Amino acid sequence: MDQQTAQKFIDELWADSIVPELVEYIKIPAKSPHFDADWASNGYIEAAVQQIFSWCKAQDVSGMEIEIVRLEGRTPLIFMEIPAHGAADPNDTILMYGHLDKQPEMSGWDDQLGPWKPVIQDDKLYGRGGADDGYAAYASLAAIMAVQKQDLPHARIVVIIEACEESGSYDLPYYIDHLRSRVGEPSLVVCLDSGAGNYEQLWLTVSLRGMAAGTLRVDVLNEGVHSGYASGVVPSSFRVMQQLFSRLEDQSSGKVLPEYLYAPIPEQRLEQTRAMAAALGDQIWQAYPFVDGVEPMADDNVERILNRTWRPALSYTGVQGIPALENAGNVLRPYTAMKLSMRLPATVDGEAASQMMKQTLEVDPPAGAKVSFETDQAASGWNAPEVAPWLHASLEKGSQGSYGRSVMYMGEGGTIPFMAMLGDFFPQAQFMITGVLGPQSNAHGPNEFIHIPFARKLTTCVAHVITDHCQRED
């Protein structure tokens, strides 16, 4: 592939078509079903599906068949099938993946920005979903078109864009089962829903953490009681909850305590982590918007990367039963509920971890309080197979050609449920898991953005891999 020619085509397509489409897509509050129980009647998921479907259908992709697949009661899915081009094996398959559902608004956006308000500043497009993961469908087809424009061969390609990823992809297994014969047996999976350590080179994700999430609730009264009358007699639901937290993590260091939430770290991942730490240095923690004076956890950057990629970590992501400050009366509250999100090492089973956490939290409740832990969004992580020599060579060539620097390998702290599923279904496949979620891009949080120049170059790297895949020697 002539990488310069491909880059020119992709740059123009991004500028003239993809960025304007992403601007319109960001305006749609297409929150994932977990955050919008009435998603079907509200119609935002459908609006995002129709927009992306219409753009994809209008593109000049040789032989492409595209449809919106619908299973009753489930979010729709966009399915594209592109036949092999040139002298490629017609039975060899590349599977490309992305999603179009979004996380909720989140507070804290800068005054001039907003979740459904697309703004372009300094080559960055701000707004919810552009980077996670609205660009994936557009970039996937752009890469394919760049290959076809040079009349280069490529394998048969299947593109799947789902609408339930931010809710744990619970609809996706039903679609994969429904479409299994049409998907085929991919030898390469390309997923554009991951991150980058910087915006200066190509990053390949080689592991993803899993998740065990749920709502912990502590009840001590049937109704609130005057705090002067009750405190000292009635146990505080919040204090009981703190005791339960201490079963999961050390309250001073944040170290997760149950051994069943840990897994051995493969030596290759340790080597890749050391290389990443050497390449990025203190950028690893300086990328976070710390309040002045707050120090990062752990003593060095290798440990910080391992903490966010191969070790369990607990976050408290929501609360119920505690009134806002302006409504806080002198009342001992009847209950406290907290949403817990436990990130898991790549090789820990998410469902099993969830059930063991439930047992840990509910057994022998302090003060006899009523304690319940209702699990949801359990997901296993993913650990990549060894990268084939042809894929490494292609990634390196693409990264050098687009960015002038070598490809880097990294673990990610987030979860893409589809990857664990594909790893089980297609154990012989190679994986190109990458994405645009670099420093400060802040997926799920305020001021999310997509770094447009980086995304354009990443698209060209994907085109490079599609081409080289056809010419590989297994």
How would residue 405 be classed by pLDDT, with cut points 50, 70 and 90? Answer: very high
Enclosing H/E stretch for 206: strand 203-208
At 123-156, the pLDDT tens digits run 999 999 999 999 999 999 999 999 999 999 999 9
**Residues 78-86, mean pLDDT to the nearest whole number:** 97
Q: Cα–Cα distance between 214 and 222 in angstroms, integer?
A: 23
- Asked if 143 and 466 touch (Cβ cutoff 8 Å), the reply is yes
Q: Which of 28, 22, 9 is nearest to 120 (CA)?
A: 22
**Residues 46-70, mean pLDDT to the nearest whole number:** 98
Look up tokens 């997509």; give the residue.
450
Q: Which of 454, 460, 436 is nearest to 132 (CA)?
A: 436
Enclosing H/E stretch for 320: strand 313-320
| b/e map 163-181, b = 16+ CB within 10 Å | bbbbbbbbbbeebbeebee
How would residue 456 be classed by pLDDT, with cut points 50, 70 and 90? Answer: very high
CA angle 401/406/412 to nearest 5° reads: 120
Which tokens sit at 131?
Answer: 């980077």
pLDDT exceeds 80 at position 100: yes
SS3 301: helix
CA angle 355/359/365 to nearest 5° reads: 150
How would residue 87 be classed by pLDDT, with cut points 50, 70 and 90? Answer: confident
Enclosing H/E stretch for 203: strand 203-208
Q: Is the dihedral of CA 268, 273, 274, 280 positive or negative?
A: positive
Phi-psi region of 229 (alpha: psi -120 to 50; beta: other; left: phi over 0): alpha
- Under 8 Å CB-to-CB from 49, ≥6 apart: which residues? 68, 76, 78, 100, 163
- Under 8 Å CB-to-CB from 470, ≥6 apart: which residues? 86, 88, 92, 152, 153, 154, 155
Q: Which of 341, 362, 416, 380 is nearest to 263 (CA)?
A: 380
Q: Cα–Cα distance between 14 and 19 in angstroms, integer?
A: 6
How would residue 417 be classed by pLDDT, with cut points 50, 70 and 90? Answer: confident
What are the Cα distances from residue 29, in Å, to 51, 115, 161, 246?
13, 8, 17, 38
pTM metric for this prediction: 0.91
Q: What is the pLDDT of residue 71?
A: 98
Q: What is the pLDDT of residue 452?
A: 98
pLDDT exceeds 90 at position 415: no
Q: What is the pLDDT of residue 168?
A: 86
At 265-306, the pLDDT tens digits run 999 999 999 999 999 999 999 999 999 999 999 999 999 999
- Under 8 Å CB-to-CB from 287, ≥6 apart: which residues? 439, 440
Q: What is the pLDDT of residue 197?
A: 96
Question: For the range 361-369, what are the long-range contacts, defined as Cβ-Cβ under 8 Å and sequence gap of 24 or more?
Answer: 361/216, 361/244, 361/247, 361/248, 365/218, 365/240, 365/244, 366/235, 366/240, 366/243, 366/244, 367/220, 367/235, 367/240, 369/218, 369/219, 369/220, 369/235, 369/237, 369/240
The burial class, CB within 10 Å (0-12 / 13-18 / 19+), for 293 is exposed
pLDDT exceeds 80 at position 474: no
- Asked if 339 and 213 touch (Cβ cutoff 8 Å), the reply is yes
High-pLDDT (> 90) share of the chain, %: 94
Taking the domain 210-263+310-379, which CATH number applies? 3.30.70.360
Q: What is the pLDDT of residue 35?
A: 96
Query: What are the residue ranges spanned by the domains of the chain?
Result: 3-208+381-470, 210-263+310-379
pLDDT exceeds 90 at position 424: no
Q: What is the pLDDT of residue 421?
A: 84
SS3 190: strand
- Under 8 Å CB-to-CB from 276, ≥6 apart: which residues? 197, 284, 305, 408, 409, 410
The burial class, CB within 10 Å (0-12 / 13-18 / 19+), for 69 is middle
Q: What is the pLDDT of residue 255?
A: 97
Q: What is the pLDDT of residue 425?
A: 84
Q: What is the pLDDT of residue 88?
A: 87
Q: What is the pLDDT of residue 264?
A: 97
Look up tokens 């094996």; give the residue.
89
Which tokens sit at 187?
Answer: 């030898």
SS3 453: helix
| b/e map 193-231, b = 16+ CB within 10 Å | bbbbbbbbbbbbbbbbbbbbbbebbbbbbeebbeeeebe
- Asked if 332 and 227 touch (Cβ cutoff 8 Å), the reply is yes
pLDDT exceeds 80 at position 180: yes
Helices (H) and strands (E) counted in the chain, each on its own, are 15, 18
Give the architecture-level CATH label for domain 3-208+381-470: 3-Layer(aba) Sandwich (3.40)
pLDDT exceeds 90 at position 426: no
At 341-385, the pLDDT tens digits run 999 999 999 999 999 999 999 999 999 999 999 998 899 999 999
How would residue 195 be classed by pLDDT, with cut points 50, 70 and 90? Answer: very high
How would residue 18 be classed by pLDDT, with cut points 50, 70 and 90? Answer: very high
High-pLDDT (> 70) share of the chain, %: 100
Q: Cα–Cα distance between 285 and 247 in angstroms, integer?
A: 28
